[in-house]
Structure 1
Amino acid sequence: MLSRVLAALASGGLLCLAFPTFDLWGAAPLALAVLALVLTGVRPRAGFALGLLAGLAFFVPTLHWSGVYVGNLPWFALSTLQALFFGLAGTVYAWLSARGTVRPLAFAVAFICAESLRSRAPYGGFPWVKLAFSQADAPFGRLAALGGAPSVGFAVALTGALLAMVATRAVGRMPLGRVALPGGLAVGLAVSGLLVPISTDGPTAEFVGIQGNVPRPGLDFNAERRAVLDNHVNATLAARAAGEAAGQPRPDLYVWPENASDIDPLRNEDANQLIRNTVAQTGVPLIVGGLLEEPEGYLSNTSLLFEPGKGDTARYVKRHPVPFGEYIPNRDFWRLFSDQVDLVRRDFYPGSEVGLFTVPARSGQVIRAGLSICFEVAYDDIMRDVVNAGANVLVVQTNNATFGYTAESPQQLAISRLRAIELGRSVVHVSTVGQSALITPDGTAHQVTSLYTQAVVRGALPLRDSRTLSVRLGGTPELAAVLALLGLVAAAARRRPRTTDDIDPNHRRRE
């Protein structure tokens, strides 16, 4: 059993290497191959424990950024919660593989169903570092255009389990044909994404993203809120002057990041006038990430559209505030464990409308910018909603100042890259402190900025209206995985002998 424990920990550690900032995407199927070998043939209770260990070995280092400024308790609590879903997958797969034979389909659907569940629960879920979000540079990543993040994760998990089957058959000295079959299927899956066409054509519009930077990293990044606002104003006007001096095309839209104006730009006249003057000087519409002191007793994390001569003309309120970051669910209960919950003094109120801003471009085209704020980019349905609402380009506004010099920002950029492929849209990804980038629909990130610098990303991006198969299918791939898992469980239940889970047909206890 010790060897299985060590292998489970190794699989979690290996999976870390697939994500930023290591970016070794091939580590993901290899890690899952090890995990499949570890879980095959053990009792369900052992499957839970081994899955939990693998999850801890993965999430603790990968989510290290969550405790940089708030301490170890939130970091370990979040990591443990996420690892429990690995344990759940391990329980189910261990039960399905009770006969000691690697079952690739069962492993893949169990893993993806657990991933889908952790994307929804508790408190709306936390879909960060899903398998798919490590695959933007891999052939696997192109499968997102067919079935979204779930199809990518399924292919990675299935490939890993097939590799595990190759290993067990090779060790068991099976005929070469029986060893080669799962190996060939694994190789075929690994390169199948190369057959998926990814289009990047279409009429273009000129975008400028402003990374204004903050006075200092950390939770008090906005202690000098006016300085943050001034940074974005000054960077915008400097970008305008530099563009004119270089003879660059005039922009169609400027984008500021989340929290660019934490001074309520609709209630504070000084902030409002500063933004209006900036828009008047550039003569170009501007999307501002702002904080509104509404509704009464709450705050709203918003995107605001300011247009020359018109002022603020449209708004989007973040639909999925981050639990324990932007609001505290069950505050009295969680205060029993840590008074850190009161760092969030006022809860953020969720919006109810899909974010879509319409802006005319100089070319005669119309920009329909689909909006998401910060962690919303990780939620499949929120991103799909803006495309179904008519978005022909995506705007991701984020603030990474509270996570220091960690992998959080590169991890988020990787999510935006996969979304570009999945949804067939360009992405304007803008952070207060980096990383910011312009992303084309093939997932390529252009002009990636450094952390904690003032920077500008600018250029032409294609506007696309066609819908990928992934958008048309919606949540169907996840539903198919759930139905497949239920079918496998039902079939296994019919085949199982009428004995306890812990005893095999030869009356020997399994590990």
Structure 2
Amino acid sequence: MKLPAPLRRPPRYASLAAGALPVLTFPAAGLGWLAWVALVPGLELMRRADTGREGAVRGWWFGAGFILTAMYWLVPSVGPGLLALAVVFGALQGAVGLAVQRLLHPPLTTRRAALALLVVPSVWVSTEFVRSWHALGGPWALLGSSQWEHPAVLGLASVGGAWLVSAAVVAANTGVLILLAGRRPGVRAVAAAAVTAALLAGPLLFAVQSAPAAGDRATLALVQPGEVADPAARFAASERITERLHGVDLVVWGESSTSTDLDRAPDVLARLERLAAATGAPLLVGEDARKADGRISKDAVLVTRDGVAERYRKIRLVPFGEYVPLRPVLGWLTGISKAAGENRAPGAAFHLLHTTDRSGRPLPFGALICFESTFPDMSRVAADQGARMIVFQSATSSFQSSWAPQQHASLGALRAAETGRPVVQAALTGESVAYDRQGRRLAALGTGDRGALTVDLPLAEPGAATWYQRLGDWVPYTAVAVSLAAASGLRRRRAPQPEPAGPQPAVSAR
């Protein structure tokens, strides 16, 4: 019996395993430094492929291994659907494998090495950008987010978002691969220069940025009741923690901290109004409830002593967790997993919420709900609208024992560096965390903690803007343009040359 081709190709299995290696750079493993070389084994397997097609297949297997490992915690929500996600999204990395094989196969020239240092990071960022489209799932596990612990490296994010950090990390990996594979001095010189530039670019940008000036500050309390399954008991636990708070400008509860529609539950609203009066600060609570129209939605609700002041409804829902894409086709997953039994209702558009601090100064802020913290563009829109800080509400109890809560909390560092706004996240079961305007972590409550995390935040100045806020997603769009240009050049080189038309002149024998 003849085995299928994939079973006769051990390098493909090695590529699958190599795809898991970069996941060690994310929390909770926390080996962020490894990101600068973690891709090298997988890239080497792609480089050694005999053909461009085989390089693309190895890239596909590498991508599937990455998705399976980075998102293993989704198994309770999507069940065997995770394998399908790995196959689909892994296919995007086939473009990386093709680029690596075409540009870095031996014998390696200086020209092809230089092209690879531009094209390979561009193709990688393009694949991240495609799978980050919210209709396809969203930007979870971007390679650039592995550098969340290093504010100096996040200087890149202030100019080009997480995308530029990803590009620098991939460029460094590509350069290391060329240093190991190249033999010519010119090839190695180009690679060494690229690695040096990738490593130094972030710290240099961080150094030239002006240090955050002393200015207005706000004191926030993030309430974390811990693992309490019953909604009423969870509300009561948050209530007890809040009663002990004083001298704060805003109290933030996590996502789904109340399961009642506050517009139709005067008794629950009255309890929150009393808390706001007792603490002297408004409360931002997470409402996960069926509304008057019969549909369930998730809202961030700002409650003062006088009642509901403002609310924002989550607009980007979690695939399978809060809605099932193509439910008529994929609805069967709800019978074998914890996928959403019914689709939540999304909001129409993002908008700021507004309150004042204890001295009466306006305090506009962006309130984003859980999964929305993964999207760079949403925090950028909040900054564009005038937010002086960004607040995330989260609930990750379904994945409490996995790596997901730590990785989710780490994204606040990227959003802070990208927007120049301080970021906080209040999570029901952890991690609750706070970052300053450059992505430095100020304080945190882990998944095993309960209580309130009180933090004094230096606010962004009105009108302040980072380069990323001004320029937007110029990095992924540039990467797509470079990738398309490289693909066009590859097609031209492979196209057969046309035969000369008409009779050819006779050639003298002399």
TM-score range, shorter chain: 0.7 to 0.9
Change in CA separation of 1:35 and 1:76 when aligned onto 2, cut-off 3 Å: same
Given that 2:324 and 2:339 are in contact with CA atoms closer than 8 Å, whether structure 1 keeps it comes out as: no
Q: Which moved more, 1:280-289 or 1:447-456?
A: 447-456
Matched, 1:235 2:241: yes
| Cα displacement (A) at 1:489 | 1.8
Identity %: 26
1:503 maps to none
Q: Which moved more, 1:72-81 or 1:145-154?
A: 72-81
1:125 maps to 137
2:295 maps to 298
Once residues 381 and 355 of structure 1 are traced to their aligned partners in structure 2, the CA distance between those partners, rounded to angstroms, is 13
2:490 maps to 492
Report the TM-score, using the length of structure 2 for normalisation: 0.87
| Cα displacement (A) at 1:455 | 2.2
Once residues 21 and 37 of structure 2 are traced to their aligned partners in structure 1, the CA distance between those partners, rounded to angstroms, is 8
| Cα displacement (A) at 1:292 | 3.6
Matched, 1:186 2:195: yes
1:168 maps to 181
RMSD of aligned Cα (Å)? 2.3
Instruction: For residue 31 of structure 1, give the secondary structure of its aligned residue in structure 2.
Output: coil
Given that 1:367 and 1:463 are in contact with CA atoms closer than 8 Å, whether structure 2 keeps it comes out as: no
Q: Any residues of structure 2 matched to 1:40-59 within 5 Å, and which?
A: 40=47, 42=49, 43-59=51-67
Once residues 492 and 98 of structure 1 are traced to their aligned partners in structure 2, the CA distance between those partners, rounded to angstroms, is 14
Once residues 279 and 334 of structure 2 are traced to their aligned partners in structure 1, the CA distance between those partners, rounded to angstroms, is 47
Instruction: For residue 448 of structure 1, give the secondary structure of its aligned residue in structure 2.
Output: strand
Matched, 1:107 2:114: no
Instruction: For residue 55 of structure 1, give the secondary structure of its aligned residue in structure 2.
Output: helix
Equivalent residue letter for 1:51: G
Give unpaired runs (5+ residues) of structure 2.
1-7, 498-510
Once residues 66 and 492 of structure 2 are traced to their aligned partners in structure 1, the CA distance between those partners, rounded to angstroms, is 35
1:502 maps to none
Matched, 1:17 2:14: no
Given that 2:23 and 2:66 are in contact with CA atoms closer than 8 Å, whether structure 1 keeps it comes out as: yes
Q: Any residues of structure 2 matched to 1:286-435 within 5 Å, and which?
A: 286-294=283-291, 296-308=293-305, 310-336=306-332, 339-340=335-336, 344-435=340-431
Equivalent residue letter for 1:233: E
2:253 maps to 256
Per-residue CA deviations over 1:366-390 (Å, capped at 9, x if unaligned) read 2111111101111122121111111
Matched, 1:64 2:77: no
1:506 maps to none
| Cα displacement (A) at 1:192 | 1.7
Change in CA separation of 1:295 and 1:12 when aligned onto 2, cut-off 3 Å: farther
Equivalent residue letter for 1:184: A
Per-residue CA deviations over 1:267-296 (Å, capped at 9, x if unaligned) read 122221221121121121111111242362
Equivalent residue letter for 2:132: S
| Cα displacement (A) at 1:302 | 0.3
Equivalent residue letter for 1:56: A
Change in CA separation of 1:343 and 1:494 when aligned onto 2, cut-off 3 Å: closer
Once residues 84 and 65 of structure 2 are traced to their aligned partners in structure 1, the CA distance between those partners, rounded to angstroms, is 14
Question: Aligned pair count?
Answer: 476
Given that 2:258 and 2:286 are in contact with CA atoms closer than 8 Å, whether structure 1 keeps it comes out as: yes
Match of 2:205 among 188, 196, 203: 196
2:262 maps to 265
| Cα displacement (A) at 1:474 | 0.8
| Cα displacement (A) at 1:38 | 2.2
2:220 maps to 207
1:439 maps to 435
Report the TM-score, using the length of structure 1 for normalisation: 0.87
Equivalent residue letter for 1:475: D
| Cα displacement (A) at 1:490 | 2.0
Change in CA separation of 1:342 and 1:260 when aligned onto 2, cut-off 3 Å: closer
2:452 maps to 456
Once residues 362 and 265 of structure 2 are traced to their aligned partners in structure 1, the CA distance between those partners, rounded to angstroms, is 31
Change in CA separation of 1:491 and 1:76 when aligned onto 2, cut-off 3 Å: closer
Once residues 345 and 489 of structure 1 are traced to their aligned partners in structure 2, the CA distance between those partners, rounded to angstroms, is 43
